[in-house]
Amino acid sequence: MKKVLFIIPSLDIGGTENICKILFQEFLFKKKYDVDLFVLNKKRNNNFYYELSREYRKKIIFSDNYNWLEIFIKLISLTSVKNYASILTFNNETGFVVNIIKILFLRKFKTVLRVNNSIKKKLKYSNNFYNTCFKKFYNYFSLNLSDTIIAQSKEMKNEISEYLINKEKIEVINNLLSKNFKENICFKEKEKYLLFVGSLTRKKNPLMLLDIYNQFNKNNTQNIKLKIIGDGSELEIMQNFIFLNNLEENVEIIKAIPQVRLQKYYSKALCLIICSKYEGFPNVAIESLFCGTPLLASKCIGGIKELIQDDINGISFEEYTIDSYLKGLNKLLNYDFNYIKIKETSKRFRVDKIIPKYENIL
C-alpha cells in the first residue's frame, strides 16, 4: 500500500481546505493508499475535521502550535518513521520546508506542490518590502525544488512557468466539486437576490461587492437583494458600510454554513458575483455552475477565463472596476440563460474526472 502524506495549514472552511478534504477522503476510500494528513494549526476552527468520519480522523496529525521550528522538527520525525512515497503540500511555505528536509536528510519521497493562488498578485498585495522579498525567496525555491507542481488552470501554469528552471514539471488539474452537492436537489424557481459566497477578507474584496451593489441599488426597480455567505475580518467594516448607506433591508449577511445547506442558496440566486483581488480557480464558481446559476466576474481574476463561457454560463469582462461589474450585471439580468446548459459546464469538475489525475502524480 502506497504511503502518502498531505500537509495543509488548517481545515477551516475554504476552497483549498475543501479540496484537501475531498482528496483525503477519496484516497482513503480507495484503500490503495495509506494516507496521513498533517494539519499545521490545531488552534484554528478546523470545521472540515468534524465532517470526516471517526475512522478518517484517526489519520490526521495536528501540530500543537503554528510554529515553523516545531513543524520542521515534527516533519523530520514523521518522514523518518514513515516511508512516504509522496508528500503533497497545499501551500508554498510548506513546500519549501518539506523540500529542505528532503535535501538535508536525504529523503527519497516525491514532493508535489499544489499552488493555490496567483503568486504575482499575492506579491502585489503583500504588506511591506521585507515581507515581499521573503515571499519571493520561498516561492522561488519551493517551486524549483518540488518534483511536480499542480496548477489549477492554464493561466496559472503560464504564470508559474516564469519562476521555473524546469517548466515541464507543471501539471494542470482543475478543482473538483464536492460530493456534498447532490444531483437530485433542484430549485427551478429563482428568487430575486444576488449571491456572494466566500471568506470576508481583503483578498475576496467584499467591500467592492457592497460598493457594486450600492450603485446598482440606486436604480433597482425589481427590488433585487444581496445575500452574502461567509465570515472574516472585514465583517465589521461591511456592517458599517451597510448601515451608512441604508442597505439593512437589502443586504443579508449569513454566517458560513455547511456545503449541504449551500446548494439551496446557489440554486435560487440570480447569479454568483466573484470580485476577489486574486484567486487560483474559485471553488464557489464550480459549485454555482453545478446548481445552474450563472457567474459574474472580471477576467482579471484567476481561472475566470477558463470558467466563464459568456452568454452560456455567465458574463465576464476585461476590467476590474465597479463600472464594469455594473454593466456586466445589467447585461446578465437581462439575458435568458439556459440553466441546464449552465449545469453541463460543471461536468468536467466531477470527482471521478479529477481524482485519477492526482493518482497519476502521487
- DSSP string for residues in 65-121: S--HHHHHHHHHHHHHHS--SEEEESSHHHHHHHHHHHHHTT--PEEEEE--S-HHH
Q: In this predicted model, which residue has the larger pLDDT, 258 or 147?
A: 147
Domain spans, the chain:
2-177+351-361, 193-345
Q: Rounded to the nearest 10 degrees, how much is the dihedral formed by the CA atoms of 86, 90, 93, 94?
A: -40
Q: Kindly report, residue by residue over 281-334, the tens digit of the pLDDT.
A: 999 999 999 999 999 999 999 999 999 999 999 999 999 999 999 999 999 999
- Whether the predicted pLDDT of 188 surpasses 80: no
CATH class of the domain comprising 193-345? alpha beta
Contact 228, 241 (CB under 8 A): no
Beta bridge partners of 310: 314
- Tell me the C-alpha distance between 52 and 264, whole Å: 22
Q: Kindly report, residue by residue over 214-234, the tens digit of the pLDDT.
A: 999 999 999 999 999 999 999
Q: Kindly report, residue by residue over 77-135, the tens digit of the pLDDT.
A: 999 999 999 999 999 999 999 999 999 999 999 999 999 988 888 888 877 888 888 88
Count of C-beta atoms within a 10 Å radius of residue 360: 10
**Angle (nearest 5°) at CA 132 between 126 and 174:** 65
Alpha helix ranges (H) inside 105-252? 119-124, 129-145, 154-161, 206-217, 235-244
CATH 3.40.50.1100 fits 2-177+351-361, yes or no: no
The per-residue pLDDT for 204 is 96
Sign of the CA dihedral with 108 first, then 10, 256, and 259 last: positive
Task: Establish how many alpha carbons lie within 13 A of residue 199's alpha carbon, considering only the half-sphere containing its beta carbon.
Answer: 16
Q: Rounded to the nearest 10 degrees, how much is the dihedral formed by the CA atoms of 162, 164, 165, 171?
A: -110
- Tell me the C-alpha distance between 350 and 210, whole Å: 32
Q: Kindly report, residue by residue over 244-283, the tens digit of the pLDDT.
A: 999 999 999 999 998 889 999 999 999 999 999 999 999 9
- Same CATH fold assignment for domains 2-177+351-361 and 193-345: yes
- Tell me the C-alpha distance between 171 and 150, whole Å: 5
Distances (CA, A) of 217 to 129, 176, 313: 39, 34, 24
Give the pLDDT band (50/70/90) at residue 187.
Answer: low
Specify the DSSP class assigned to residue 318: S
Between strands 271-274 and 295-298, the pairing is parallel
The per-residue pLDDT for 131 is 84
The per-residue pLDDT for 186 is 61
Contact 142, 96 (CB under 8 A): yes
- Tell me the C-alpha distance between 56 and 49, whole Å: 9
- Whether the predicted pLDDT of 206 surpasses 80: yes
Q: Kindly report, residue by residue over 17-75, the tens digit of the pLDDT.
A: 999 999 999 999 988 999 999 999 998 889 899 999 999 999 999 998 899 999 999 99
